[in-house]
Structure 1
């Protein structure tokens, strides 16, 4: 059962009432949400509230695409909503800091994007080859202030040097400092470390399954 509603508050109210009154499977989606950031935020807020309350059986995200933009972005956003709420896992998550006065370059931003893009691109193969890899957490941080803490909470993380810090990047694996990368090839070396970690940890799980 689905309702055609375009306002966030209206959608929440309607589905709360439906959930109270019936046992039908409910399909959630904000109709005519708009385009770009506005549509993404509105859909995420509306669906997030209801899903957190246990309301909804299937979801959709309906956005007005930019000229030439693929509609697959709607699927990505819907997946991210479910993964952010801990309801499903589709791809390994990448935690990255926003950057501030302590960060000296865009290196951590570029590395975070490279790793995220790589993980997403590999999932069609990894989903069957490395079961459980979709739950992996990677952290790419830009300085020593938040870097070690976030990295220790991830399966694998790196803390890149910030302003006034030594040109070194400690790498944490399973919560422990494993090694420190230095030089101009940090990004490629970390990329290889991530690949090796996935093959070792999730490849072993596949063999014992």
Structure 2
């Protein structure tokens, strides 16, 4: 990965045009060929970028990035304040935190959490775009893909949607329903899941672990 901090202006030409006036910015060039331009705000979101496959051509004071669609990102550099490269190696990928991993393990041991007569077929059922946390059968014998999160957000619903699209192409599995299970599910994620026919289940982690609640309940 290459990190360049420079005073620069940026001009994009393609499906539309965009211009960033001269200012200090971070230019990020990744090993996958992508080039992105960042300001000191907006969290992780770049001001402008070019996704791979693309080609970076460097000339004195000017970077030109061009992709297969012939879109261009021209970065005019007035002054370079920092320029360094770092070899990050192969990323091991996202590892679930202890609570989320244990939650998946508990739900695998207790598939009847989702309904009477449910059984587990397999944990980490592999698809072409990654493993589904749990593959189950409901009481009627139908396949159900279950995505387990500690906190349910829109990204998790999108992830499960991709799994379902692939699994429903397999005649040995289809039709496959989806369940989005989490300790907390954000309203936006619940709305999106419902719109896509995915059932949401809020899971009580402590109850699954067999722990009694400290607070007093009226009912």
Query: Under TM normalisation by the shorter chain, which class is it?
Result: under 0.3
Larger Rg: 2
TM-score (norm 2): 0.25
TM-score, normalization by structure 1: 0.26
Higher helix share: 1
